[in-house]
Amino acid sequence: MQIDLHLGMTWVVARAAGFSNEQAQIIAHASQYVDDATNEGCIKFSNGAAYQRITTAHKMLDYRNIQSLENQQVWIPFHFLPGNSGLPAKSNPSGSFIHKLVCKPNSYVARDMVNECIANKHKPYALHLLGITSHVFIDTWGHKGFAGIQHSINKVENIKDHNGQIDKHWRKRVTDYFMGMIQDDIPSLGHGQALSNPDLPHQHWSYTNGLGEVVERNNPVDFLEAADELCKVYQVYLQQQPTGLNAALKQQIAQCFAEFNMDDGQHRLALWLEAIASDRFSLGAYQLSYIAKGEGSWKHEALGTILDDEDEDEYTFTAAFLTSNWKLFHDAAKQHRLNVVDIILPRYGICVA
């Protein structure tokens, strides 16, 4: 999924479940920032203090970087949560190990991830962790059928629209995107070869995967189910009955999927923000905002820098850094990765590095 859903829809669902405007803003911001926290390394301060941040995503350019492609510590816990073929812990799907790694919507693994998140709700970074968990949770619908490693199961052929028409320009768009690579050289990680088709809320499509299976995808139906299940997660977090979204809100979200039918995620986000500001969802009008990098971003507020790719040699330490949203996000990201990689996946016989 893209920024319109990770930010806009997530805010709507969080508010519907009972979070305040400000709490929902943190949850939604953290959810989207999973896709934008692309730098890692040690932050050094002039007083001798230091802080180790982690990356939760790779820039799209990094699809051409083999080291990044092999970084299972990013792709698997933050984007392609293994589904263990929908089976519970200590159960093994038939076939090879890859079947344990393929994303499955609302899997036992995903529910364990939610439970670990709730177990940390007393932490200072609780809402940031919930935002990260939200991102990964709803992506189990968007990324279903794909795995966070390079494998032939991620290969895509014969993309068709809902009318069964072949996308004649798909191969050229993929080749252009990957700077002229021939088909056999295009990385088979995640849904890279499918481009943005798995992420578009209005898309109804099909494809043939690397196992020769024809896969039918109805994103509007899948994503509405994801929103409903995410609402249940939030309700459990708030110690409420997990009833999900009410019928009126479901209808409004479904209509947004249908109306906001352009492929550009930023354009769709602008429409979501306009809908929130005009109280289309009957949750109270709110000016939701998001700045990923530069002035006004979480990083700028924490460190006083507007640099993106390159960092200062040293920063001036202030006490406010310790409670900044940027630090709390990275604290939460480290907790999330620990939860998934070291605590949850071994229960399913999955070891990643």
pLDDT in tens, 278-299: 999 999 999 999 999 999 999 9
Please tell me whether residue 71 adopts helix, strand or coil conformation.
Answer: coil
Decide if 208 contacts 158 (C-beta within 8 A).
yes
Q: What is the pLDDT of residue 69?
A: 54
Using only the alpha carbons of the chain, give its radius of gyration.
20
CA 308-286-327 angle, to 5 degrees, is 35
pLDDT of 84 strictly over 50: yes
Cite the DSSP H helix spans in the chain: 3, 10-17, 21-33, 66-69, 72-78, 98-101, 108-119, 126-142, 170-177, 219-237, 247-259, 265-277, 298-303, 325-337
- Residue 97 to residues 66, 140, 213, 214, Cα–Cα distance (Å): 21, 18, 18, 21
Task: Report the chain's mean pLDDT, rounded to a whole number.
Answer: 89
> What's the helix, strand, coil split of the chain in %, to 5?
50, 10, 40
Q: Say how far apart CA 152 and CA 74 lie, in whole Å.
A: 20
The 10 Å Cβ neighbour count of residue 157 is 14
Q: Say how far apart CA 288 and CA 272 lie, in whole Å.
A: 9
| Nearest alpha carbon to residue 156 among 143, 142, 146 | 146
pLDDT of 62 strictly over 50: no
Q: What is the pLDDT of residue 202?
A: 93
Q: Of 140-149, 172-181, 202-211, 216-225, which range is least confident?
A: 172-181
- Residue 59 to residues 6, 37, 62, 245, Cα–Cα distance (Å): 17, 9, 5, 33
With a CB cutoff of 8 Å and minimum separation 6, the contacts of 149 are 70, 72, 75, 76, 98, 101, 189
Say how many CA atoms lie within 13 Å of 241 toward its Cβ. 2
pLDDT digits (tens, 9 = 90+) for 86-131: 999 999 998 889 999 999 999 999 999 999 999 999 999 999 999 9
Q: 72 pLDDT band (50/70/90 cuts)?
A: confident
pLDDT digits (tens, 9 = 90+) for 20-58: 999 999 999 999 999 999 988 899 999 999 999 999 987
pLDDT digits (tens, 9 = 90+) for 144-193: 999 988 888 888 888 887 666 666 555 555 555 544 444 554 555 555 56
Q: What is the pLDDT of residue 161?
A: 74
Q: 305 pLDDT band (50/70/90 cuts)?
A: confident
Q: Say how far apart CA 189 and CA 146 lie, in whole Å.
A: 8
Determine whether 176 is exposed, middle or buried from the number of CB atoms within 10 Å of its CB (0-12, 13-18, 19+): exposed
Mean pLDDT of 210-232: 95
Q: 309 pLDDT band (50/70/90 cuts)?
A: low
With a CB cutoff of 8 Å and minimum separation 6, the contacts of 250 are 224, 227, 228
Our CA dihedral for 131, 194, 149, 181, rounded to 10 degrees, sits at: -130
pLDDT digits (tens, 9 = 90+) for 135-154: 999 999 999 999 988 888 88
Decide if 232 contacts 243 (C-beta within 8 A).
yes
Where are the domains positioned within the chain? 3-348
Q: What b/e sequence results for 192-211 when a residue is b if at least 16 CB atoms lie within 10 Å of its CB, and e otherwise?
A: bbbbebbbbbbbbbbbebee
Instruction: Identify the bridge partners of residue 38 per DSSP, sorted by sequence position.
Output: none
Q: What is the pLDDT of residue 94?
A: 87
Q: What is the pLDDT of residue 238?
A: 98
Q: What is the pLDDT of residue 61?
A: 44
Q: What is the pLDDT of residue 151?
A: 86
The 10 Å Cβ neighbour count of residue 113 is 25
